[in-house]
Each structure stands twice: as C-alpha cells, then as structure tokens.
C-alpha cells in the first residue's frame, strides 16, 4: 500500500507553524508528511507548479488543498484523507 504524501509549504515562521503542527497531529502511519521550506529553490519551484500563492499551504498527493486559498483547516484536510489509512 502506498503512502499519502502530504506536503506543507512553510516559510519557517510563527504564522506557518500552527499549520505544520495541525498536519502532523492529523497524520497517520499512511501519511508521509513533508515540510517544504519556501526559502529553498526546490520548494519554490514545487510551489509554483502547484499554484501556491501564499503560505502556509498544503498539498495532498500533488493536489493543492482548496482550503489553502485561505488558511488550511481541519475539516478540509480530513476530507482529503489526512489522518486516515490509505
């Protein structure tokens, strides 16, 4: 069984940290949580490819979460499967 890839785009700042903590608290063994530091070229390139316009932002299996037009929220992340077995 493959893992669900949950990418959190963060600037490493106090504004982003609650989202990082939320995703980590929701994650289950089938979730591969990756925190991408927007201060790196690789994270910036991936963010552009996903259409990230602000941080924090969350993508699940390569799809930017709709909640990331604003701040990510618990209900939307759960609807994407974060925290549930794959």
User: What are the tens digits of pLDDT across the range 1-57?
Assistant: 689 999 999 999 999 999 999 999 999 999 999 999 999 999 999 999 998 989 999
pTM of the model: 0.80
Residue 70 has pLDDT above 90, yes or no: no
Tell me how far apart the 2 most distant CA atoms of the chain are, in Å.
Answer: 35
Q: Which two tokens stand for residue 43?
A: 């994270």
Residues 6+ positions from 21 with CB-CB distance below 8 Å: none
């Amino acid at each position: 069984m493959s893992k669900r890839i949950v990418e959190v785009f963060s600037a490493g700042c106090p504004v982003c940290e609650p989202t990082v903590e939320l995703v980590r608290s929701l994650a289950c063994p089938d979730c591969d949580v990756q925190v991408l530091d927007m201060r790196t070229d690789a994270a910036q390139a991936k963010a552009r490819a996903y259409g990230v316009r602000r941080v924090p932002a969350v993508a699940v299996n390569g799809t930017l979460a709709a909640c990331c037009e604003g701040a990510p929220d618990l209900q939307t992340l759960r609807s994407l499967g974060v925290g549930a077995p794959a």
